[in-house]
Structure 1
Amino acid sequence: MSEQLPGGGFKVSTDDIAALEARWARCWEPHDVARRLAGISTPWYIAAGWALDLFRGEQTREHHDLEIGVPAERFPEIRERFAGLVFDAVGDGRIWEAATPQVLSATWQTWLREPATGHYLLDVFREPHDGTVWICRRDQNIRMPYAEIIRYTPDRIPYLSPELVLLFKAKQVRPKDQADFDGALPLLTRTQRETLSRLLTQVHPGHAWLASL
């Protein structure tokens, strides 16, 4: 990247964006990660747009990356499964290549990089939690057991419950986020709609999606 920052971090400039997108061109898909994490004791789930496609039972659009969520304190167990990859931390428009434990403790997003090619394969969210209870990073008053927020495809790929995925997507509402909401909404149960409505009211009062719920 173009501008080196203290602690080994680099600020991502506008000119870097296209190059970064190209480095995600060979990222994994959900079944790739599920195969590599098979049998692990740490709870984990596919997040973001891919999670909604798993919920819907089909891929509905192109995905430029793949994100998973894991409990922050259990990240070392996840890391062991990807020993051949380099772990870059990301935050506030910066990237820390081969992040130190100190940088990892101060950030929550991790890009897994293939050292031979420089390609990014997976984005890992190191999420706040209290033991087996998931804590929403947008509002730490939102707490739910992992057993209640993780759903599974018929072939046992774990993904974040759709109402929580949509809660995260509600912050920006890019065109793809609106399309994801429109596509998932008819499939949400009454309970899921009520939960999303309650959480949106709490985190994003007056949000446009509330009228549809």
Structure 2
Amino acid sequence: MSFEQCQNVTSLMAKFNKNWFIAGGWAIDLFMGKETREHKDIEIAIFRKDQLNLKAYLIEWEFKKVIKSEFHNWGNEFLELPIHEIHATNKLNGDKIEVLLNEAKDNDWEFRRDLRISLPLNSMWSYSDMGIPYLNPEIVLL
């Protein structure tokens, strides 16, 4: 039960002063408390409103936005729906993370594909025994 990739991201994000969460398959494994399979990548989720804060925080990283399954350089524009996926590469060591932008309105998380589907923000994430924040399975599997 090493969760080394998750611990590395937790160290990377330690001083980021906005909410962030492990997403994707790693989130499911954190929920289950064990690594169930090999993971080739790692995803984190942040709130859309915090995207430029993340870019400023990861100053040594190169960012690409994904539009219709194609990668494009991301300048400093604020990304709106339907764009929800960003790929970041550390220019110094080649580390990579995928960032998923999540919608929030008032005190609710909203599903980007159907904004009528929502969940109270305080029900959106949990923490692993190691203190790693992760999206709850109902969000990841939606």
TM-score by length of 2: 0.85
Aligned to 2:102: 127
* CA RMSD across the alignment: 2.1
Change (3 A) 1:29 1:148: same
Q: Distance in 2 between matches of 1:112 and 1:35?
A: 16
Aligned to 1:11: none
Q: Which residue type is aligned with residue 67 of structure 1?
A: E
Change (3 A) 1:132 1:35: farther
Q: Give 1:120 deviation, angstroms.
A: 5.4
**Selected match of 2:46 from 56, 63, 70:** 70
Partner of 2:25, secondary structure, is helix
TM-score by length of 1: 0.59
- Higher mean Cα deviation, 46-55 or 145-154? 145-154
Aligned to 2:124: 149
| Structure having greater relative contact order (Cα 8 Å, sep ≥ 6) | 2
Q: Give 1:108 deviation, angstroms.
A: 1.6
Between Structure 1 and Structure 2, how many residues are aligned? 138
In structure 2, the gaps of 5 or more residues are none
Change (3 A) 1:102 1:74: closer
Q: Distance in 1 between matches of 2:106 and 2:54?
A: 16
Q: Which residue type is aligned with residue 115 of structure 2?
A: Q
Kept in 2: contact 1:53–1:60 (CA 8 A):
yes
Q: Distance in 1 between matches of 2:131 and 2:92?
A: 31
- Larger strand share, 1 or 2: 2
Kept in 2: contact 1:151–1:158 (CA 8 A):
yes
Identity of aligned residues (%): 28
Matched, 1:88 2:75: no
Change (3 A) 1:144 1:104: same
Aligned to 2:135: 160
Kept in 2: contact 1:70–1:126 (CA 8 A):
yes
Q: Distance in 2 between matches of 1:89 and 1:120?
A: 17
Aligned to 1:55: 31
Q: Distance in 1 between matches of 2:58 and 2:67?
A: 21
- Larger helix share, 1 or 2: 1
Aligned to 2:55: 79
Kept in 1: contact 2:60–2:92 (CA 8 A):
no
